[in-house]
Amino acid sequence: MYSSEVVINREEGLHARPATFFIQKANQFESSIWIETDRRKVNAKSLLGVLSLGIMKGSPINIIANGSDEQEAVDSLVALVKSNFVE
């Protein structure tokens, strides 16, 4: 298992459009991937799960992956968040 914490800096938080980018990126990896906040943990490959977290600007999230490409998956998703969802 590999994980990393990152803060959402996008003004609108992790709403539909950036969540879609995040999920598309997560689905490129074979590993199981989760997003964890202080409240709960959801499947990072599920749009409804990610949106249900209601992640706002300034919120820290923990990205967790388990599988053959876990480090690459987490590092790639952290980079996407840090770029404000611009690839």
Q: Of 9, 15, 72, 78, which residue is the catalytic one?
A: 15
Active site residue 15: yes
Q: Which residues lie closer than 8 Å to 63 by C-beta, 6 or more apart?
A: 3, 4, 5, 6, 33, 34, 35, 36, 44, 74, 77, 78, 81
Give the C-alpha separation, 72 to 57, whole Å: 25
> Hey, CA dihedral for 59, 80, 52, 20, is it positive or negative?
positive
Would you name the residues annotated as active-site residues? 15
